[in-house]
Structure 1
Amino acid sequence: MTALVIGADYLGAIEYKMREKGVTEIAHITGRNPGELKRMNIPKTTAFVLVFTDYVNHNMARMVKNHAKAQSVPLVYAKRSWCAVERKLAGIGL
């Protein structure tokens, strides 16, 4: 299963915990560079998009929401802590 993670410079232990949950490939966009908005595309094999709300601005969150909605990919918003991420992933059945 592939996941797209948006926000944060470094995923740390969250990456390893996601792999334990069955995510085999993680695409990561930091969200800091304004040019990333123009080049952003969601891979077709993406199972869900995870957005770290404390690391992205409103414009980036809006763009991600529009892209995910257009491709019918589940979108998860969470703070950058494993407890918050795990709770949200359980909400989508992961």
Structure 2
Amino acid sequence: MSTYVHDSDAVLPYEWDWSEWLANEGADTLTMVGVTVVGSPADILTIGAPTQPEPGVVRAMIGPAVDDECRDAQITCHIETAGGRKDDRTIAIKIRNR
């Protein structure tokens, strides 16, 4: 799992690149994407609507944090494909004042 340090006031893009995984699975395509905070509290960070800036890549703007406390969160990108597959990838976010 990748880990990132995120300032509590920052609004930054995070990406999940599914393109290689999709190509290895017979050139499948994404039909549904979702990005959510895993665990509690679920509202620790603001998450913008995910976009697909290029085929197989999911991007979401994340932040700011709900307060200035130093906390850790996990953000999961869930996808579904035209071929019927479903999968998740999770990153860790360390919320810190910088």
TM interval, shorter chain, is under 0.3
Length-normalised TM-score, structure 2: 0.27
* TM-score, normalization by structure 1: 0.27
Higher RCO (CA 8 Å, separation ≥ 6 residues): 2
More strand by proportion, 1 or 2? 2
Q: Name which one, 1 or 2, has greater alpha-carbon Rg.
A: 2
